[in-house]
Structure 1
Amino acid sequence: MKLAGSIVALITPMDNSGAIDFVALGKLVEHHISSGTHAIVSVGTTGESSTLSPNEHLEVIDATVKLVAGRVPVIAGTGANSTHEAIYLTRQADELGADAALLVVPYYNKPTQEGLYQHFKLIAESVPLPQILYNVPGRTVADLHNDTVARLAEIDNIVGCKDATGDLRRGKELLDLVGDKISILSGDDPTALEYMQLGAKGDISVTANVAPKAMADMCAAALEGDFETAERIDKTLRGLHNDLFVESNPIPVKYAVAKLGFGANFLRLPLTAVSEEQRPRIDDAMARAGVL
């Protein structure tokens, strides 16, 4: 499995009652594959993993794997702040046919670096599925340090790290430490191109939900070393990179994807729909990206 390019952190479409809209999910999957998206993350943060029940979580992964039907890799979000829960979800994702798992740093309980190392090590030892570490300290509070990633990179089925810190200096250090052992992927759209210029292999992207072809083309150009083309494309996406975060993700992107006709603009509490005052900013960013 190649971990590279534009990897969409896919929303979970819902109808106006809050039920998962599997018809819209099917249309979204086809839209991404026809647009050139290189891989799909199912039920990550952007997929509202925190408000889905465990059964729903697995139903969405199962449906996504079946809809994709092997055409691109499916990466299942299976992280949790309980190691045993993360093992359970990762094992289930493996049985459902996911190509890899994305494991967020445990949130709220604030483990030490040794606790983080033991957490990810035990998951990797318990489930043979290829696994991608996911560091997003702005959400989890706990921060997976680069030297801990280096320890974990020695484990065979830990194959990547999604770095959503947005800190390019730190990212360069991470690439120097483990870039020859595992795939380093940006998890921060505004700095993704710069990170790829440093050597990151791609971007697990929120923006790709709204502009999948442009993100796929940008990442492909960057991977080929054609940074002039990549920068030209990225310039059209900068509004989305920024304005899809005017309120907490996935609030703005859910609005934008619904506006494109994929499901309703519905989020489960405690998330609420994007405020009326922010909608013109998102509309304008979509227009500048050429998707409206």
Structure 2
Amino acid sequence: MTTAVDSASWLTGYIPDLPTPFDAAGGLDLEAFARLCARQIEAGVPAVVVCETAGEASTLTLAERKAIIRTAAGIARGRARIIAGAGSNATARAIELAHCAEAAGADAVLSVVPYYNKPMQAGIYQHFRAIADDSRLPIIIHDAPARTVRELADDTLAKLAQSSRFVALRDGAGDVGRPLRLAGLLRPGFRLLSGHDATALGYIAGGGDGCISAVSNVMPDLCQAIFTNLKQGRPQAARHLFRRLIPLQACLADADPAALKYALSLLGLLRPDSRLPIVEPDDAAKAVIARAVAGVADEDLAWAAEA
């Protein structure tokens, strides 16, 4: 566990936003969750995100969050970092969740711009400063304007990033030009991570450091190959592989996280169950998801290695 702010150099590449598996009775399925963690770590991911968007965080109790984080940390054993969702539209609750994450063994927290309340930029700034002042783990800020209604302004981000307490942005705005725009505003070493699978290739090509991803849950090796080819100067190979993922990305974005869980259930990794208000995709959507999963071929990895 990281107990003080350290280098954010590990925040790079595709980082999966893990779903939370549930059993037939609606409780946590920690055995399935452990399998998900192990699969990702064996694929070489630098970190996993737990208890966040794909993890149906709003339905989890504090005890369940602790159990999930502890399980992830036990599987990782230092081979990958554990990033725990700790966001809330109540600042005191976000601080409580950050404390919970630290106690359970997380290495960093991911905290979203306050939703529903529609705070002004000054309020957003004070919200994150309060979390930083009352917690010890590195903080990744999550900007998700489609979910929060309020976006994180570039100036507000630049002001927060002056502090080493803030190490990265999960950028869910889908603006591929943002890394270039922010290049002169942020301190060296501050990481920019796409939070939007469909635009991740352009975001990384424009100066981003990686992607916190849903699709990486399904195809971790392929996602790592995309990133490696892009960073090693093989954009044609990266584009080819990325195109193969587009149908799957579209399915997951359309019904996240229910579609993701169904895709993973096809691979035998978990049950497709979610907690209300999330429900399973209908039969037509399931058929589309199944075709998208089947359409991603293993030979693409061999093609990339030869490119």
Q: TM-score range by the shorter chain?
A: over 0.9
Q: Work out whether residues 162 and 187 of structure 2, in 8 Å CA contact, stay in contact via their aligned partners in 1.
A: no
Instruction: Report how many residues are paired.
Output: 290
1:203 aligns with 2:211: yes
SS at match of 2:228: helix
Q: Give, in whole Å, the separation in 1 of the partners of 2:222 and 2:49.
A: 18
Cα 1:24–1:227 shift into 2, 3 Å: same
1:94-173 to structure 2, matched below 5 A, reads 94-173=102-181
- Structure 2: distance between partners of 1:87 and 1:268: 25
Alignment match, 1:261: 268
Does structure 1 residue 10 correspond to structure 2 residue 21? no
Q: Any idea what the Cα deviations from partners look like across 1:60-101, whole Å, max 9, x if unmatched?
A: 112111121111111111111111111111122122221111
- Code of the aligned partner of 1:41: V
The equivalent of 1:229 in structure 2 is: 237
Q: 2:305 corresponds to which residue?
A: none
CA distance in structure 2 between the aligned counterparts of 1:57 and 1:128, rounded to whole angstroms: 18
Residue 282 of structure 1 deviates from its aligned partner by 0.8
Contact kept, 8 Å, 2:175 with 2:203, in 1: the verdict is no
Q: Does structure 1 residue 252 correspond to structure 2 residue 280?
A: no
Aligned-pair CA distance for 1:219:
1.6
1:230-281 alpha-carbon deviations (Å, 9 max, x no partner): 112111111111111222x111101111111122110101111111111111
Aligned to 1:186: 194
Secondary structure of the equivalent of 2:71?
helix
Q: 2:215, 2:131 → 1: CA distance?
A: 30
Q: TM-score, normalized by length of structure 2?
A: 0.91
Q: Structure 1 stretch 12-21 or stretch 108-117: which is displaced more?
A: 12-21
1:23 is aligned to 31
For 1:253, give the aligned amino acid: L
RMSD: 1.4
How many angstroms does 1:176 deviate by?
4.0
CA distance in 1, matches of 2:104, 2:278: 29
Residue 47 to residue 130, structure 1, CA distance change in 2 (3 Å): same
Alignment check: 8 A CA contact 1:203 1:219 kept: no
Secondary structure of the equivalent of 2:208?
Answer: coil
- Separation in structure 1 between the aligned mates of residue 229 and residue 18 of structure 2, nearest angstrom: 22
Query: Which residue of structure 2 aligns with residue 242 of structure 1?
Result: 250
Contact 2:111 2:142 in 1 (8 A): yes
Partners of 1:225 and 1:117 lie apart in 2 by: 37
> Match of 1:108, as an amino acid?
Y
Matched with 2:281 is: 274
Amino acid at match of 1:257: L
Is the Cα–Cα contact under 8 Å of residues 64 and 74 in structure 1 kept in the other structure?
A: yes
Contact 2:197 2:213 (C-alpha < 8 Å) held by counterparts: yes
Question: Where in structure 2 are there 5+ consecutive unaligned residues?
Answer: 1-7, 299-307
Structure 1: state its 5+ residue gaps: none
> Who is 2:45 aligned against?
37
Q: Does residue 1:86 correspond to 2:94, yes or no?
A: yes
* 2:5 corresponds to: none
Query: Are 1:77 and 2:77 an aligned pair?
Result: no
Identity percentage of aligned residues: 37
Report deviation, 1:179. Answer: 6.7
Shift of 1:53: 1.4
Deviation, 1:37, is 2.2
- TM superposition shift of 1:40: 0.2
Change (3 A) 1:228 1:10: same
**Partner secondary structure for residue 178 of structure 1:** coil
What is the match of residue 290 of structure 1?
297
| 1:208 Cα deviation after fit | 0.5
TM-superposed CA distance for 1:171, in Å, is 4.3
CA contact (8 A) 2:171 2:196 kept: yes
Return the offset for 1:170: 3.7
Letter of the 1:287 counterpart = A
2: distance between equivalents of 1:152 and 1:179? 10
Q: What is the alpha-carbon distance in structure 2 between the residues aligned to residue 275 and residue 171 of structure 1? A: 37
SS at match of 1:46: coil
Quote the residue 2:304 is aligned against: none
